[in-house]
Structure 1
Amino acid sequence: MHIINKKARFGYKLGEDKVEAGISLSGGEAKAVRTGHADLTQSVARVLNGEAYLINANIPVAGAKNYVSTRTRRLLLHKAEILSLSTKAKQQKLTFVPTRLYTKGHLIKLELALGKPKAKFEKKEATKRKDIQRELERELKV
């Protein structure tokens, strides 16, 4: 089971640094993730008070009435990893972007990448380049 954040590459310039982190979930959330019901598109990871948190990830639980599906979830990383990543992020003005959520055996893992947010004009240029490339490929086929 893999849940991929497809908007991560569109909205951020992702670097080569990727980290695997565990995630603290409730029972219903774990079941929802295993069945593929999670959305990482608007989510971001932050370091607060020396601990890493996943903010704004949408993991809905079936049948729950008083449940906030976008609550803040704790990420399970070693203190040294958190410290090194947060210093690198502060120095280079990067953010932690969750790229995929997957299972490893019976554990649920989150892959984080350091990335720099793209400006609006960079996103537009990227879509224009893709459209031009598609048109060229279409013309070559015909």
Structure 2
Amino acid sequence: MARKKNENSLAENRKARHDYFVEEAMETGLVLVGTEVKSIRKGRVNLKECYADISNGEIFIKGMHISPYEQGNIFNVDPIRERKLLLHKDQIKRLDGLVSQDGYTLIPLSLYLKEGKVKVALGVCKGKKNYDKRDSMLEKDAKRNIDRAMKEKYQ
């Protein structure tokens, strides 16, 4: 059965769930300018190669591409600039402790709207090996076959 896309979801990083085990996810705010928000609402954002980094007690998203807004003229900013995430200091310290362990990184999983604000689902992730990826694909394929057989049987 196909997973329904959330109506408020603006962008998903599907590759993150394929390449990483998501240990924990949390909601964060994002500092944007007006033309970036308009472009994100139009769906012109790419999360494929982005990650989050902690420096000087602040978290920044690096590599997220937001296309310039067509009517933005002089108000447009660099499409791949670093963008600050909004978290409490104790949350940042806890994330820093988790990420300092070997193999863990912070990956933005999705962008969505909540009460008119753009939010980021940030995941603490550990990289998968190739055999883990194959196992995930086999499980997904088996589940798809089971669902298909159940649907045919009960229709």
TM-score (norm 1): 0.83
The whole-number CA distance in structure 2 between the counterparts of 1:135 and 1:116 is: 28
- Secondary structure of 1:41 counterpart: coil
Identity %: 31
* Number of equivalenced pairs: 141
CA shift, 1:135, in A, is 5.5
Structure 1, unpaired ranges of 5+: none
Equivalent position amino acid for 1:35 in 2: K
**Correspondence for 1:57:** 64
Q: Distance in 1 between matches of 2:37 and 2:78?
A: 15
CA distance, structure 2, for counterparts of residue 122 and residue 74 of structure 1:
32
The aligned residue for residue 13 of structure 1 is: 21
Cα RMSD after superposing both structures: 2.4
Per-residue deviation, 1:127: 2.6
Corresponding residue for residue 77 of structure 1? 87
Q: 1:69 to 1:138 in 2, by over 3 A?
A: same
Q: Does the 8 A contact of 2:38 with 2:69 survive in 1?
A: no
Distance 2:142 2:27 in 1: 36
1:107 equivalent in alignment to 2:117: yes
Using structure 2 for the length normalisation, give the TM-score. 0.77
What is the alpha-carbon distance in structure 1 between the residues aligned to residue 148 and residue 122 of structure 2? 35
Shift of 1:137: 6.0
Gaps of 5+ in 2: 1-7
Letter of the aligned partner of 2:12 in structure 1?
A: I
Q: 1:90 aligns with which of 96, 100, 117?
A: 100
In the aligned structure 2, how far is the partner of 1:107 from the partner of 1:136? Answer: 39
Letter in 2 for 1:54: I
Q: CA deviation at 1:108?
A: 1.2
